[in-house]
């Protein structure tokens, strides 16, 4: 999550040394008129464009039309994925527009306070599926170790039918961040290094790879 295209391109080249499978570029802090083409040309890896609102854990505070325009621009300039919140106005229409522009759409839902019970998570998942999302993403906040089990149960039950990303944020949610891909989640998130986290509970990619190697799943 950088403030300029130049800085973002520089960081991408640094991150590539860690062999990520894909990158998320956060546009929260960039100027709305920013072109995405230089970012796209900085790597051959798949890229997710995200412009997260404050109410869902981001820092973007401008007009909604400006936020979604940036995401549309990213799709048109070759980003592989665009993250679009389920609560976005006219989300179904925007999903179709982004897909027509060539991007796959991650429809996401973030609960910044709690981890609901499994039946509630499944209800959210059904709503995301109805948008015809390419990837469904549900992120909660863990207040206890048991909250990880709700996220992992959702992945275990539904990841075979849906490209699903689900885990809990916070220190108590690290378990679900790590184990959800083992149970079939489409991907999980890591930071480039300590101090570069974009959400609570992210571990640096080097540590995540080391843990997976220790578990025998890397």
Of the candidates 123, 193, 189, the one whose C-alpha atom is nearest the C-alpha of residue 158 is 123
Give the CA distances from residue 90 to residues 27, 67, 86, in Å, rounded to whole numbers and listed in that order: 21, 14, 9
Q: Rounded to two decimals, what is the model's pTM?
A: 0.95
Q: Residue 71 has which token pair?
A: 């995401």
Express each pLDDT in 132-188 by its tens digit. Answer: 999 999 999 999 999 999 999 999 999 999 999 999 999 999 999 999 999 999 999
Catalytic residue numbers, as ranges: 110, 137
65 burial type by CB count under 10 A (0-12 exposed, 13-18 middle, 19+ buried): exposed
Residue 32 belongs to what H/E stretch? none
Between strands 81-85 and 135-141, the pairing is unpaired
Q: State how far the Cα of 67 lies from the Cα of 85, in Å rounded to an integer.
A: 11
For residue range 178-216, list pLDDT tens digits in order. 999 999 999 999 999 998 899 999 999 999 999 999 999
DSSP single-letter state for residue 179: H
Task: Write the pLDDT tens digit of every residue in 95-124.
Answer: 999 999 999 999 999 999 999 999 999 999
104 sits in which H/E element: strand 104-110
CA distance 147 to 177: 12
Six-digit token pair at 40? 């796209």
Domain annotation for the chain: domains and CATH numbers: 1-105 (3.20.20.70), 111-218 (3.20.20.70)
- Average pLDDT for residues 22-43, to the nearest whole number? 89
């Amino acid at each position: 999550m950088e403030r300029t295209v130049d800085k973002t391109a520089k960081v991408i080249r640094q991150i590539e040394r860690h062999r990520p499978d894909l990158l998320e570029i956060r546009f929260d802090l960039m100027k709305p008129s920013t072109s995405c083409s230089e970012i796209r040309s900085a790597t051959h890896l798949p890229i997710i464009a995200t412009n997260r609102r404050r109410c869902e854990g981001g820092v973007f505070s401008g007009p909604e039309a400006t936020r979604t325009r940036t995401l549309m621009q990213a799709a048109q300039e070759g980003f592989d994925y665009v993250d679009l919140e389920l609560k976005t106005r006219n989300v179904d229409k925007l999903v179709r527009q982004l897909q027509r522009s060539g991007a796959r759409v991650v429809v996401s839902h973030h609960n910044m306070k709690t981890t609901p019970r499994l039946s509630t998570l499944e209800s959210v998942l059904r709503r995301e599926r109805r948008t015809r999302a390419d990837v469904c993403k549900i992120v909660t906040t863990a207040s206890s170790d048991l909250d990880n089990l709700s996220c992992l149960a959702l992945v275990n039950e539904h990841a075979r039918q849906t490209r699903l990303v689900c885990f809990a944020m916070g220190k108590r949610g690290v378990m679900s961040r790590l184990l959800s891909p083992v149970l079939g989640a489409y991907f999980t998130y890591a930071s480039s290094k300590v101090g570069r986290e974009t959400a609570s509970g992210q571990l640096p990619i080097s540590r995540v790879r080391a843990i997976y190697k220790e578990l025998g799943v890397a």
